[in-house]
Structure 1
Amino acid sequence: MMEKTKFGIYIPRDLLVKLDECMRSLNINNRSKIVQEALQLFLLEHGWKTDHKVKGIIGVVYRHGKCDIVLTEIQHEYLEIIISTIHIHLDRERCMLAIIVDGDGDRIRNLISEIMNIKGVKIVRPLILSLATNNTFYKNFIEEKSK
């Protein structure tokens, strides 16, 4: 078991109220556990940005139309890291795209940046994990979750 350290945080009152409501609805009664999970997820979501070999999914929600063409053109510029894509029609005006990626972290960061700058793209949500052999945090996180 890892050594634990106690520390305090300040958050806006309305955020605390929302947190407590969410915890009640999920029948969770341990704020420390929630904060630990949030911090672990934050580190998982952002820790890959310094690693070279990564895999993941980039979720994109956008307005149907001109975005389709621009998104396709950009994807063709990144064929070496894009494994596959899944296109979903949310409604008549909006689409969702899941882009599965595997490769160099810098290239994936560039792809995400280009997608974010497309007019009509509403949401870009990457879920990227590091595959670096020296990334012990990811390995420890997965091992902790499986216990």
Structure 2
Amino acid sequence: MGSGKFGVYVPEDLMIELSRCMQALGIKSRSVAVREALNLFILEHKWRYGGKVTGVLGLVYDHEVNDVDEALTDIQHKYLQNVISALHIHLNERDCMLLLVVKGEASEIKNLLSELMNLKGVKLVRPLLLSAEK
């Protein structure tokens, strides 16, 4: 497959930040920086349109909300084939962070995400998922 060229309008403030970032990373070519950014964008979003994925789901929740801990455990057991590992972190008196390492079909992980997001007491859910497909 060949290469292609395209033009992109970039606001001045973004160009300045790009130049600073490139300098800090020792990147001499804007083309290299744009290629890296595009590859990262694709890796971060490719999971959304199917296939196998692997990654981490980060949650922040209020453990004082009735039964939220039990509900989170039940969901993990429901998706036992997808949840590889879990790490629980106490953030403060009320809030906890739960990191779930997950693997499986994108559709299954999307369903898991949906259940977590709709759980009472869950304040934030952030996926960091990468496609395991080539």
Bucket of the pairwise TM-score, normalised by the shorter protein: 0.7 to 0.9
Partner of 1:50: 49
SS for the counterpart of 1:29 is coil
Per-residue deviation, 1:59? 2.7
The verdict on how the C-alpha distance between 1:61 and 1:83 changes in structure 2, with shifts beyond 3 A counting, is: same
Partner of 1:80: 81
Partner of 2:108: 107
The verdict on how the C-alpha distance between 1:97 and 1:4 changes in structure 2, with shifts beyond 3 A counting, is: same
User: What is the one-letter code of the residue matched to 2:86?
Assistant: T
CA deviation profile, 1:67-99 (whole Å, cap 9, x unmatched): 545433432332221111112334555443221
User: What is the one-letter code of the residue matched to 1:48?
Assistant: W
SS for the counterpart of 1:101 is strand
Unpaired stretches in structure 2, ≥5 consecutive residues: none
CA deviation profile, 1:85-130 (whole Å, cap 9, x unmatched): 1123345554432211122221101112333344542350322322
Partner of 2:20: 21
Given the alignment, which residue of 114, 117, 122 partners 2:124? Answer: 122
Is the Cα–Cα contact under 8 Å of residues 47 and 129 in structure 2 kept in the other structure? Answer: no
The verdict on how the C-alpha distance between 1:17 and 1:95 changes in structure 2, with shifts beyond 3 A counting, is: farther
1:38 and 2:37 matched: yes
After TM superposition, the score normalised by the length of structure 2 is 0.74
Is the Cα–Cα contact under 8 Å of residues 63 and 122 in structure 1 kept in the other structure? Answer: no
User: What is the one-letter code of the residue matched to 2:52?
Assistant: K
For 1:110 and 1:29, locate their aligned partners in 2 and report how far apart those are by CA, in whole Å: 42
Unpaired stretches in structure 1, ≥5 consecutive residues: 136-147
The verdict on how the C-alpha distance between 1:127 and 1:35 changes in structure 2, with shifts beyond 3 A counting, is: same
For 1:20 and 1:94, locate their aligned partners in 2 and report how far apart those are by CA, in whole Å: 39
Is the Cα–Cα contact under 8 Å of residues 116 and 122 in structure 2 kept in the other structure? Answer: no
The verdict on how the C-alpha distance between 1:99 and 1:17 changes in structure 2, with shifts beyond 3 A counting, is: same
Paired-residue identity, %: 45
After TM superposition, the score normalised by the length of structure 1 is 0.69
For 1:64 and 1:10, locate their aligned partners in 2 and report how far apart those are by CA, in whole Å: 46
SS for the counterpart of 1:9 is coil
* Paired residues, number: 131
For 1:21 and 1:88, locate their aligned partners in 2 and report how far apart those are by CA, in whole Å: 35
